[in-house]
C-alpha cells in the first residue's frame, strides 16, 4: 500500500513541475444534426428510386424425361430393341430482371429464361405480364425481354459507367432471392476484372460481397448514386447459397448487348487473334520488364490486329490505356466497342513498346456455317454440326485458325448425346480421314460401315473415340 501511495504522490506532483498552460482558445460550437439523414446513414432514398425498375422473372418449360435411366444408354436400347418411354416434367426457373427502357424492355440473364416456353414478368407493384424474348445470348449470358404495357411509361434504371468502379466502392444488390420477394443487400466491390469464373464466354466480372442467392440472377447491382453497375449473374459457393462472393456482368457490356438487340442478334467486334497471359518466364525470355499483357499465339492476317501489323509473338499490353492481362480481359475490352471503332493498342514488339491503331470488325463467316444435322446409322446421329470459320471460332471461344468441324448441339435421346458429344467439340478426323468441312464429316461417317475411329478436340485436349455397331 505504501508503494501505491508513493506512486500516486509522484503523479500528483508532475503537473506542478510543468510550464503554465497556454490560455484556452475558444472551441468551435458543435454542429447539431438537422435531419435524420445526418444522424443515420441510409440508402432508402436510392432504393426508393431504383427498386421499381427491378422485376421478378419466372420461366416455365416442359421437358421430356425418360422413365427408366437405363434407357439413357444407346447400347442398351439397341441390344434389347427397346424404345425409351418418355414423360413430361414441368421445370420452372426463378430470377430477376431490370427495366432499362420505359416501353417494357427488360434485361436479365440468359440462364434464367433459357428453354422457357412461358415467361412471366412481375413488376414491383405485383402486376404480371407475359414476356417475349427479343434476344437470348448464351455467350454473354444475357437476355433481352419485352412486355406489352399498352403505352404506359415504366420506371427505368439508368446505366452507369462500370469502368469507373473502384475496389471498395459501396454497391447494392436488388433482386428476388429464393422467391421471397424483392430484397436489397449491401456490400462493396471486392474485385474488378475477374476472369476464369466460367459463367459465360465473356468472363470478365465485377466481384462483390453483397449477399446474392438463387433468384438474384438477372437483378441489378447498383451504385450509391442509383446507376446500374452490372447484372448479378453468379455466386461461388459449396452449398449453392451465399458465401460472400458474387459476380456481376459489367454495365458497359450489358449496354452493348442491349444496343445489338435491335438487329436481332449479338454482333460484337472481333480482335482477330488468340493469346495467352504473359508469365514471369515469358516476360524474361522476351525482355519485357514485368509480366503482363497478352502474348499472341495466332493471328488472322485479315483481322483487325493483323491489319494493324501485329504478328504471332507480339504482346498486347493495353487497350485504350486500360491494361489487359489475359484473353478474357482483351475480348471484353473489344466487346464494349462497335464494329468500325478504332482502338489504340499499346504493344510490345521486337523488344520495344509502341502504340498501334486497330479498326475493329465483325469476324468473317468464311466458309459459310453450312449447319447440318447428322442422320443415318452412326455415332453422331442427332448432332448439329457447322463449318469452322473466324466467326464460328469466335462464337465457340476457339482459337483463331482452329481447323475441323464443330459440334453446335446434340438432340436429347440421340446416339450423339449418348456417346457424349458436346457443344464446341471439334471433329478432327474419322478413320484416319482429315475433316475440314461438313461434307468431309458426313461422307466419312457414311463410309464407316459399322466401325468409326474418331479424333475429337475438346478444350484443347485431343480424345480418341472408337465405336463398333
Active site residues: 111, 141, 217
Q: Are 314 and 348 in contact (CB under 8 A)?
A: yes
Strands 142-147 and 205-208: unpaired
Amino acid at each position: 500500500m505504501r508503494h501505491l501511495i508513493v506512486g500516486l504522490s509522484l503523479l500528483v506532483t508532475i503537473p506542478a513541475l510543468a510550464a503554465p498552460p497556454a490560455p484556452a482558445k475558444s472551441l468551435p460550437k458543435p454542429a447539431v444534426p438537422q435531419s435524420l439523414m445526418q444522424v443515420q446513414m441510409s440508402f432508402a432514398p436510392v432504393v426508393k428510386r431504383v427498386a421499381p425498375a427491378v422485376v421478378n422473372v419466372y420461366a416455365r418449360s416442359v421437358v421430356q424425361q425418360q422413365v427408366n435411366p437405363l434407357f439413357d444408354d444407346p447400347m442398351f436400347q439397341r441390344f434389347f430393341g427397346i424404345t425409351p418411354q418418355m414423360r413430361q416434367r414441368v421445370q420452372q426457373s426463378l430470377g430477376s430482371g431490370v427495366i432499362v427502357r420505359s416501353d417494357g424492355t427488360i434485361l436479365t440473364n440468359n440462364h434464367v429464361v433459357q428453354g422457357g416456353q412461358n415467361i412471366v414478368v412481375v413488376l414491383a407493384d405485383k402486376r404480371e405480364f407475359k414476356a417475349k424474348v427479343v434476344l437470348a445470348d448464351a455467350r454473354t449470358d444475357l437476355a433481352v425481354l419485352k412486355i406489352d404495357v399498352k403505352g404506359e411509361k415504366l420506371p427505368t434504371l439508368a446505366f452507369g459507367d462500370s469502368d469507373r468502379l473502384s475496389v471498395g466502392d459501396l454497391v447494392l444488390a436488388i433482386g428476388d432471392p429464393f422467391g421471397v420477394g424483392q430484397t436489397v443487400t449491401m456490400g462493396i466491390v471486392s474485385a474488378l476484372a475477374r476472369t476464369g469464373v466460367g459463367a459465360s464466354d465473356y468472363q470478365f466480372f465485377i466481384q462483390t460481397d453483397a449477399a446474392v442467392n438463387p433468384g438474384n440472377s438477372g437483378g441489378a447491382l447498383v451504385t450509391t448514386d442509383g446507376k446500374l453497375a452490372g447484372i448479378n449473374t453468379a455466386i461461388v459457393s459449396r452449398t449453392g447459397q451465399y458465401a460472400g462472393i458474387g459476380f456481376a456482368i459489367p454495365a458497359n457490356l450489358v449496354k452493348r448487348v442491349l444496343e445489338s438487340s435491335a438487329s436481332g442478334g449479338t454482333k460484337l467486334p472481333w480482335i482477330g487473334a488468340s493469346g495467352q497471359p504473359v508469365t514471369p518466364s515469358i516476360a524474361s525470355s522476351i525482355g519485357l520488364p514485368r509480366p503482363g499483357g497478352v502474348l499472341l499465339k495466332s493471328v488472322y492476317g485479315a483481322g483487325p490486329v493483323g491489319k494493324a501489323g501485329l504478328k504471332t509473338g507480339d504482346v498486347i499490353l493495353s487497350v485504350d490505356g486500360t491494361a489487359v492481362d489475359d484473353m478474357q480481359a482483351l475480348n471484353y475490352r473489344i466487346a464494349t466497342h462497335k464494329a468500325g471503332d478504332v482502338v489504340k493498342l499499346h504493344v510490345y514488339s521486337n523488344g520495344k513498346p509502341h502504340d498501334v491503331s486497330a479498326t475493329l470488325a465483325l469476324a468473317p463467316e468464311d466458309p459459310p456455317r453450312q449447319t447440318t444435322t447428322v442422320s443415318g446409322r452412326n455415332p453422331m446421329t442427332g448432332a448439329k454440326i457447322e463449318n469452322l470459320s473466324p466467326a464460328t471460332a469466335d462464337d465457340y471461344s476457339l482459337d483463331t485458325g482452329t481447323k475441323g468441324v464443330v459440334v453446335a448441339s446434340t438432340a436429347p435421346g440421340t446416339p450423339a448425346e449418348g456417346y457424349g458429344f458436346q457443344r464446341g467439340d471439334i471433329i478432327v478426323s474419322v478413320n484416319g480421314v482429315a475433316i475440314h468441312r461438313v461434307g468431309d464429316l458426313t461422307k466419312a461417317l457414311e463410309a464407316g460401315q459399322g466401325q468409326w475411329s474418331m479424333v475429337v478436340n475438346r478444350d484443347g485436349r485431343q480424345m480418341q473415340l472408337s465405336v463398333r455397331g
